[in-house]
A and B are shown apart, each in its own frame.
Chain A
Amino acid sequence: MSNILEIKDLKVNYGGIEAVKGVSFDVEEGEIITLIGSNGAGKSTILNTIVGLVKAASGNVIFQGQDITNKDTNYIVSNGITLVPEGRKIFPDMSVLENLKIGAYMRNDDLSKDIEWVYSLFPRLKERSWQLGGTLSGGEQQMLAVGRALMSRPKLMMMDEPSLGLAPIIVRDIFSIIKEINNQGVTILLVEQNANMALKTASKAYVLETGNITMTGSGEELLHNEAIREAYLGT
């Protein structure tokens, strides 16, 4: 399998500190890859840098063989990367349907098929399509954030802490949808503090500690690794 995304020796300064200190990793096409790590490890900074919201100090972000380091976000999004941001960040004053439409802002073609697709993945959103985003429950907002991201027809969908603040049963739902979306051909880069769920879902995992990658392996391997169990799984 070829790599859809390659990160090479990425360094990022954020808020006056070096938040990412030379990180390299690959995302294989068609896989679910996860970055796990505790608070402040630099996970979100890496995602924000890939999508161009934060500028890299040095290093490269290569997407489908093209160097997209520090390109404009709208360029990166229109090339097929999308980010489901931490905390969902749906637009609370817009209806569910409008939230989906703004997700497809870069596109000028017909959206009806994609809206139907998102509604088929999340039937709950269809029921609520005229409701304001802000009135949805946390789980529904997360579904909307994922649906909104899918509207740009991404090749790579990055997700920042999708399980944050959600009940365990909702988290399971979200992760099964992530797998479903992956089965339909979207590569997924997942950042999580909920290491248990992330490792069970991912084919490959990287462990990030204070701006460095300290461990790599398949999700299964890391799930049974002693050090990981102690540090992230609490068992």
Chain B
Amino acid sequence: MSDFIQANLPYILAGISVGGQYALIAIGYTMVYGILRLINFAHGDVFMAAGLIMIFATASLPMYISIPLVIIATVLLGVVIERVAYKPLRSAPRMSVMISAIGVSYLIQNCALYFTGGLPRTYPAIPWLSDSITILGATTKRVTAITPILTIILVLALVLFIKKTKVGLAMRAVSRDFQTSRLMGVKIDTVISMTFIIGCLLAAIGSLLYFTNYQSVTPTAGAMPGLKAFVAAVFGGIGSIPGAVIGAFLIGIVENIIKGIGWTTFSDAFTFVLLIVILMVKPTGIFGEKNTDKV
């Protein structure tokens, strides 16, 4: 066992790291679903857009301005998407909103294609994050160690925010019942915007960490991590934040262990087999919406 761990340590570390990055994307899926019952297919593309914004920003601005700029621009993008593509469909059937989300996804990808000319753009090295470090004899980038720590801190902060603050209370109310929340005086649209702000903020941070490990960003670079984060959210029980995080770490780790064994070709397949199995066995996921029973 310890031999196995020693031999596969780089893969396990990479798995924990990429799991954390998936988790930061998955929270956006799960929160938006929790409030709007919408699978926001554009979320992976917002993640990709954050990567491109970083590339274009660092071309002319220093790093310490670029990073906050990326986060702000990504959040704005998310809020604008919600206002333009989803809000007008508030009372429309759910399928219409989902089709609108797919449309936004293609729109972002094609805009990216236009701005990049279809060529992969080199992602800048973020100085401190890209440095090499050694953990238990395995050499890796510092981002590998930072990602899971940062992810857990952000998730805990988010859970506390939802549990303890007034806005969090309103978010929980809206996710349960629009009409009654309005009766309490909650402004539904403000709460929905807040959800997109949080989701896109985390996706922007996730993109900084994720693309540091990869050399380039292409217009479809958000599709695969987006899909995997989506599967993580479904696995954990869509609507549940802890569920999405656990699902994301699981997918990240297993995927990389599969690569370590030498079955790299099948590492993506694992994620989607997992999706099929979970949909057949427990469609509500491990922490799926529970109904509180009377005692």
Contacts and interface: CB of A to CB of B under 8 A. Distances in A.
B292 interface: yes
B177 A89 contact: yes
B183 A132 contact: no
B231 to A, nearest CB: 25
B292 A77 contact: no
A28 B44 CA distance: 57
Contact of B185 (A74, A92, A136): A74
Contacts of A122: none
B176 interface: yes
Nearest to A152: B185
Interface in B263-295: 291-295
A74 B184 CA distance: 7
Nearest to B175: A93
A105 B186 contact: yes
B183 A85 contact: yes
B185 A93 contact: no
Nearest to B290: A93
Contact of B172 (A51, A89, A93, A135): A93
Nearest to A51: B183
A137 B294 contact: yes
Q: Which of A102, A133, A137 has the most CB of B within 10 A?
A: A102
A233 interface: no
A83 interface: yes
A89 B180 contact: yes
B292 A132 contact: yes
Interface residues of B, number: 21
B293 A77 contact: no
B179 A91 contact: no
A78 interface: yes
A93 B176 CA distance: 8
Q: Of B166, B173, B185, which is in contact with the most chain A CB atoms at under 10 Å from its CB? A: B185
Interface residues of A, number: 28
B94 interface: no
A134 B292 CA distance: 6
B59 interface: no
Contact of B170 (A93, A102, A132, A135): A102
Contacts of A91: 172-173, 176-177, 180
A92 B295 CA distance: 13
A210 B180 CA distance: 26
Nearest to B289: A93
A135 B185 contact: no
Contacts of B180: 85, 89, 91
A148 B177 CA distance: 15
B152 interface: no
A94 interface: yes
A80 to B, nearest CB: 11
Contacts of A148: 184
Contacts of B173: 91, 94, 102
A166 interface: no
A74 B186 contact: yes
B90 interface: no
Given A89-B177, A93-B172, A53 B183 contact: yes
Interface of A: 51, 53, 73-74, 77-78, 82-83, 85, 89, 91-94, 98, 101-103, 105-106, 132-137, 148, 152
Given A74-B186, A105-B186, 7 more contacts: A53-B182, A77-B185, A91-B173, A106-B184, A132-B292, A135-B295, A148-B184
9 contacts: A74-B187, A82-B183, A85-B179, A91-B173, A94-B169, A94-B172, A102-B169, A105-B166, A137-B294
